[in-house]
Structure 1
Amino acid sequence: MIPNRFATEYPERCLQLLDALEPIAQDRDLFGTFSVMLASSILLVPWERASNRHPLNQEDGGGLQAALKKLEKQKWQAADFWAGNGPGEWRFSRIMGDPNEARDWQGEGGHPSFSVDANTIQRRSVGEVFRVLRNALAHGNIIYLDKDGVETGGARVQHIAFLSRYEENDEQRATAETYRLVTVREVDFLPFVRSWANWVVAHHEHDRELRVA
């Protein structure tokens, strides 16, 4: 069926697939892959379609667009889409140099990028985290990490890393590649995807109630 409102009905349909296929992904030990696959659609489609820069302007001036602008300013750890549930284990840091060897990642101040000292997630907004996730998903800048934050072939996935190219000034751009880094425990990523989709769908229901009233 062709949806009446793609930006909100699409994630609603994805939630149905999530419920149907999650047990299969768990049984086949493909939980991380399943989570990233869904995020590529459920996160990107509503967020991009609600952007005021999107050529398909169905959401222009609507409730979802206004709510998303408000949401982007909220702190990540206390965002509305968590609906009172804890966000799990997330990290936000930098990679000041070559991103190809995870064991060598260094953040600002020389702290290892995966370390507690480098983590700034507590002060990060939804907009900051979303932009890293969006860019990483769009460009394939995704790395699976083991329990120590290292990309070890054959090891069990414990964390998922998302990288987005970022330099703060011309000097940094001239001297090196640097990246913003968001990491999340594998088991915490799919609950986020579900929470985000439920938030979008809830705004669709709210807008529909307003139209009926």
Structure 2
Amino acid sequence: MGVPSRFAIEYPRRALDLIEMLEDRARGRDLLGSFGLLAASAVLTIPYERMKATHFLHDDARDGDLVAAFKRLEKTSFPEAEFWNGERIGPWWQSRVGGPIDHVDQWRDASGHHPMSVAAENSIGDHSAEAVIRVLRNALAHGNIIYLDKDARERADNQMVYMAFLTRYPDKEGEPETYRMVATKEEEFLRFVKLWATWISTIAADSAVVRAA
């Protein structure tokens, strides 16, 4: 394997090749959720960090296209982000949750409902793509991930259907501890990871076209 000229872009390309090689085996062994996390821990986290102009390995001449893409993520809502490539977004939830965070059944949003119930306020469309991805990145980095069954409950040995990602909401004096929660189905999460990696890996090609125009 050769040394990449642009790690943040070529690494996702290589990861996509690995995903294609291993996805069927993961499905066959009913490990799709874990496979998605395995892929996302690197495919999402590494490019996300390298897209920031503040990263210590950032080079203005080389990485300007990545920084520009990051700024677009900050200005575009998650459902309309360009990495979806025109595909319809699947089931996603975002909410600010409180209650004992280690007891899923006691999670409550600002309106007092369980954040994945029909009555809950789902704000996924109100947040930028960068804000949602930041929750995913933080949850992956700190292990704040919970597998949930078809009823969005954490019951051991039940079939996993949903994945919930948590990051602590900034503490304010006098307010109870709360978290940002992003959740989706395991199938949808892997689809997102693959679309994200495809988008990142094509940024350099898109930039070359722009420069040549």
> So what's the TM-score if we normalise by structure 1?
0.93
Listed as ranges, the matches of 1:1-213 within 5 Å are 1-58=2-59, 62-116=64-118, 117-167=120-170, 169-172=172-175, 176-209=176-209
How far 1:212 sits from its partner (Å)? 6.8
Q: How far apart in 2 are the matches of 1:41 and 1:59? A: 23
Q: How far apart in 1 are the matches of 2:111 and 2:164? A: 20
Partner deviation per Cα, 1:79-122 (whole Å, 9 max, x = no partner):
11111111210000122132101111111121112223221112
The 8 Å contact of residues 75 and 122 in structure 1, kept in 2 or not, is answered as: yes
Q: What amino acid maps onto 1:38 in structure 2?
A: A
The 8 Å contact of residues 99 and 106 in structure 2, kept in 1 or not, is answered as: no
Runs of 4+ in 1 over 6 A off after TM superposition: none
Q: How far apart in 2 are the matches of 1:92 and 1:59? A: 34
Fraction of identical pairs, as percent: 43
Secondary structure of the residue aligned to 1:62 is helix
Secondary structure of the residue aligned to 2:207 is helix
Q: What amino acid maps onto 1:79 in structure 2?
A: A
Partner deviation per Cα, 1:59-83 (whole Å, 9 max, x = no partner):
6751121122112221111111111
Partner deviation per Cα, 1:36-79 (whole Å, 9 max, x = no partner):
11001111111101112211113675112112211222111111
Partner deviation per Cα, 1:109-152 (whole Å, 9 max, x = no partner):
21112223221112121121011101100000000000111011
Structure 1 unaligned blocks of 5 or more: none
The 8 Å contact of residues 8 and 47 in structure 2, kept in 1 or not, is answered as: yes
Q: How far apart in 2 are the matches of 1:200 and 1:85? A: 16
Q: How far apart in 1 are the matches of 2:211 and 2:183? A: 40
Secondary structure of the residue aligned to 2:94 is strand
For residues 73 and 19 of structure 1, do their structure 2 counterparts lie closer, same or farther at Cα, with a shift above 3 Å needed?
A: same
> So what's the TM-score if we normalise by structure 2?
0.93
